[in-house]
Amino acid sequence: MNNIQDLNIKDEVLPIFDYSLNMFAKAKILEILHTPLNSVEDILYRQNILRAFAKNNNVLKKYSYTVLNLNEVHFFLNDTVLVDLRESKIKYRFFTPRREKSILSGKLNQLIIFFHRLQTFYFTRLSLEPFPEPFKDKIKEIVSFLSQFQLEKYEHLIREHRLKDSHIIALTHILVDQKEKKRIAVFWENLFLFEAYLSINQGILNNNFVFPSFSEDGIKISELFHPLLDNPIKNDFETSSNVIVLNGPNMSGKSTFLKAIGLCLYLGHLGLGIPASRGQLPFVTNFSIEINRRDDILNGYSHFMTEIVNLKKVVEHACNGDRCFAIFDELFSGTNLEDALEICRTTIQGLSKFKNSYFFISTHIQELENTSNDSISTYYIDCELLNERPTFTYKLKKGWSNIKVGRILFEKEGLNKLLN
């Protein structure tokens, strides 16, 4: 079970990729965003689907329709009892009330116009060659379904106001036949998945994301950034260590970097683009991302107990052979400094033995500087002193920061004088 609550998928990640036209495609996007893939092969397959959408961008960049039409057609096909009027065509022609005929005719008009737009402007213009199997087959199923309705013929009749009872009867036969073969449900499933990928591709293109490669040789990311920031600072990051201790003063940008690296690894495992100019990632099977977490009131846990419980879950996964990616922001800040120092040191050294996992731990406990071995690397977010005031550059550097920003700000704000 992945612990990704702090990524705020619905409120922060979904808007990056949501260019959908309806709630059904949006639900598909959310499903994709909540489900990391099970293998590198699955990841590369999804990457290739999205690359194919990018190659068809000239056709799909203006993909649109009237959402009301979609909703009306969807309701008509899914929630209306469809009747094959061929079995009672005399009754329909001579005894069905005009108002009832008008309602049915209107619904079929909407259906034909909606389907005709999909077929004519988009699906018949697609280049299917870039799409991998079996996704290509899903597109072919959409095209095949639309072709059952003789859309050119019926769209022309509607435009000329020449749709007759005989045409209505013929269309109801097609609809009932398709529903009995369960092709209507398959059509909607394929269409909304298609639109979900179309929307995600738009988000990737608009944000200049790139598809990462996967390797056992550690993490290598160029120009990593957080996509929700205006004019974000971009950082290069490369490590073969499996425990990364991130230090530096408060407000320097540690949490922002952790969010960026966490989002990067997570999006990569969804088969999506990442916020960087290049990326090489390890494949992992379990995510635990703890950023700015506080008390767990629902379970009656204090901040410190929440940290203990979450750490134990991660360690148990690692002990069971899972390839973990975990972030612990300000680990054990919920207890006193003496305890925090001792158990942080034990945690950092203990986690370093799980060579197939990666652990990012931020801290401002200076005494942890010398807690190291070949599997532990230290980084800090740079802070410069200009005119005796801290200036945050938000640039990632290797090593340890010894700038005591709290003490400087305390003095600059005159609190020493006020309190003494």
Mean pLDDT of 315-341: 91
Q: For residues 332 and 386, state if they share a domain.
A: yes
Mean predicted lDDT score pLDDT of the chain: 92
Per-residue pLDDT, 294: 54
Q: Quick one: 242 and 172 in the same domain? A: no
Give 119-149 pLDDT, tens digit per residue: 999 999 999 999 999 999 999 999 999 999 9
Residues 201 and 231 in one domain: no
Whether 87 maps to a domain, the answer reads yes
| Digit-coded pLDDT (tens) for 260-308 | 999 999 999 999 999 999 999 999 999 999 987 654 434 545 778 888 9
Q: What is the pLDDT of residue 52?
A: 98
Q: Is residue 8 part of a domain?
A: no
Q: Is residue 108 part of a domain?
A: yes
108 and 234 in one domain? no
At 306-319, the pLDDT tens digits run: 889 899 999 999 99
Share of the chain above pLDDT 70, in %: 96
Amino acid letter, 374: D
Check residue 298 and give its pLDDT.
46
Is residue 178 domain-shared with residue 234, that is, in the same domain?
no
pLDDT (mean) for 47-76: 97
Task: Quote the pTM value.
Answer: 0.92
Q: How confident is the model at residue 413 (pLDDT cuts 50, 70, 90)?
A: confident
- 222 shares its domain with 296: yes
Q: Examine the domain organization and report whether 249 and 351 are in the same domain.
A: yes
Q: Quick one: 195 and 233 in the same domain?
A: no
Is 412 contained in some domain? yes
User: Which of 171, 206, 241 is the last residue in one of the domains?
Assistant: 206
pLDDT at 293: 60
> What pLDDT, on a 0 to 100 scale, did the predictor assign at position 295?
43
pLDDT at 232: 93
Tens-place pLDDT, residues 167-222:
999 999 999 999 999 999 999 999 999 999 999 999 999 999 999 999 999 999 99
Regarding whether 70 and 182 lie in a shared domain, the answer is: yes
Residue 11 lies in a domain: no
Domain end residue (candidates: 186, 206, 226): 206
9, part of any domain: no
Domain count, the chain: 2
Query: What CATH number has the domain bearing residue 379?
Result: 3.40.50.300
- One domain, residues 265 and 170: no
Interval 34-61 mean pLDDT: 97
Pair (59, 167) in one structural domain: yes
- Asked if 56 and 96 sit in the same domain, the reply is yes
Query: Does a structural domain hold residue 173?
Result: yes
Asked whether residue 407 carries a pLDDT value surpassing 90, the answer given is no
pLDDT, position 168: 94
- Any domain includes 15: no
Range of the domain at 312: 213-419
Q: Which of 162, 181, 206 is the last residue of a domain?
A: 206
pLDDT band at 16 (very low <50, low <70, confident <90, very high): very high
